[in-house]
A and B are shown apart, each in its own frame.
Chain A
Amino acid sequence: MSGVAFAGCGATTAVGCGMDALRSALRANASGLRACARFDLPRFQSCVVGAASQMDTGSDDPAWNLADSALHEAREQAREALAAIPTERVGLVLSTTKANIEAMERLAEHRSCSEAARRHLRGDYLACDLAAAHGARGPVQCVSVACASGLLAIQQGAKLIQRGAADAVLVVGVDHLSAFVVAGFSALKAIDPNGCRPFDRDRRGLSPGEAGAAIVLVSAAKMSRPGITIHGWGGSNDANHLTGPSRDGSGLAQAMRRALDSARLRPEEIDYVNAHGTGTSYNDAMESTALRAVFGECCPPVSGSKGMLGHTLGAAGVVETILCVLAMQERLLPGTPRLNVAAEGVPSDCLKQPRPVARLRHVLKLNTGFGGVNGALILSHG
């Protein structure tokens, strides 16, 4: 697989605006989950969410605000690499599940809604407008594969570079907190009233979150130092249930094996796994089973990040991959914020707290989604 490298990242999340805030949260194992007055209504299962509270909560275009903020930061970080690439060779891949669903809420309730906000109800238009605003005149795509969208968008970005359609790709993941999504997960009874606790014995569900997260991918050949690269990926479908994961974890295990095959790595070469870890009973149990199927009793350290950020849906794969990049740069295995007592059956080295390591060479990132979709991505350092 020809090299595709990370040249820059940006993130606006529940732990703050910018990569420094995310880095601090990683080091402190902090959680950004808070009670939010907007969702403190009987129709919602919980008001504990991962809100990017520094953003303008009155905006009619929150998806744009989150994505735009993250893209500015990622491009700034990647300024040197992007400077040498003509804008028509820069693509953009957007990962989202609901784009600017705020506009639908407003239009349905006859509240004010700008033309731009209405336009961004469509993910493909949001992608085109972000590309135009951020100097990406190459190919533009909008990937929407439930909660696996982020990992698939990163794969799409890498593929565009590998097949010569672009020299750099801005991958941006975004989903904003909305009454629509919180009402939907409330209807499914999928929210933990006290905030999510991935892999915990007492976990009771997920916590909705929001994020804008952006990664600049470039051909590794264009980097002065290769740094962290995409080493392989794999995808699969459970073909089992629309909203629930397969109990035996075979689909996710298949995606992991495909990723290992494409990276030409053996399971024992993986140094750390960043799990999907929603905090729902079935997801975490399935993921533990899948990890056992691939790694046996020698599973590498595992942790999950949704206790820090909430479940950010289409942004999840992108922002959690950024956390993996930070972990590799910082040589720090991330903890699992809000995990207290590990549930029976979870991998034995499920990290509650961050742990320094001498080196993180190969990291495996996992995401799964409604519709049975599974994604696995391997990042490698140097």
Chain B
Amino acid sequence: MKAIRISRTGGPEVMELVDVAVPQTKPNEVLIKVNIAGVNSIDAQFRDGRLRTPLPFVPGQEGAGVVTAVGPHVKLFKVGDRVAWSGTLGSYAEYVAAPEDHVVPLPVYITDEQATAAMMHGLTAHYLANDAHKLKSGETALIHAAAGGVGLLLVQMAHAIGARVIGTASSDAKSQLAREAGADEVIVFTRHDFESEVKRLTDGKGVHVVYDGVGKDTFEKNLNVMRARGMLVLYGMSSGPVPPVDPAKLSEKGSLYMARTTLAHFTATRDELLTRTGTLFKMIDEGKLKLRIAKTYPLADAIQAHRDMETRTLAGKLLLIP
């Protein structure tokens, strides 16, 4: 089968299109024919070695497709089922073997594109707004990269909850997208200092919560824009890891809370995974959650997809078609 393989870590060019054997399923795994593979910033972190996994490997953690084989211990799926998954490496390929626990059945009204766009980004946005910091109506949230994959979904959810949303974005075009998604204010951080802007927009009071997938570039200022007892949820590090943090700073800046979260801990049981995807699919079906597909590439153009993702030129989800 065709697959993208990484034999050494580095920039997008380390991804090679190769012909490899279809993976063998373990007893609890299903073999899925990948119709669509989702591109996520975490893929770049595995590709460049910021996150470690043994070499060589096939990147990609998410997608939608059809079950073509099941291992002997599989109870939840049969051949022919339409499914989506997240959290299993190997998705940039024609076939992927995934533990059945990580796989969800797709309702007939959800397309493969919608499912792929909803999995990692949607699950992330959902746990951020409901569990990492349970957002309440009337609170003010700062959402960085508000026009990004997670951002656009999180902005919609926060808006639906009744929170006041301040977003940050890198351009006017992205700012417009974030506003359309429900952001009340958007700061174009390439022109304005988000710290002084957030202070101005909140009469100096600060926000209740900051949702940040950026990491290094925004960390220090995030601490300055929160209300006392506010929460900083760090769910990613697209600009790089945050340097070690002195806990005394948290008390100085207002007895702040901080969390560094990953999706795995918010979809740790099958129940929790299905509850979240169930909510997401329902919201999509009811038109309450709009998914933006920025671009679709053939699998062979994975390098270009990563380049586009890293230059931040496109807003929305990037998809690969094997």
Q: Is B truly associated with A?
A: no
Binding site for B on A (CB under 8 A): none
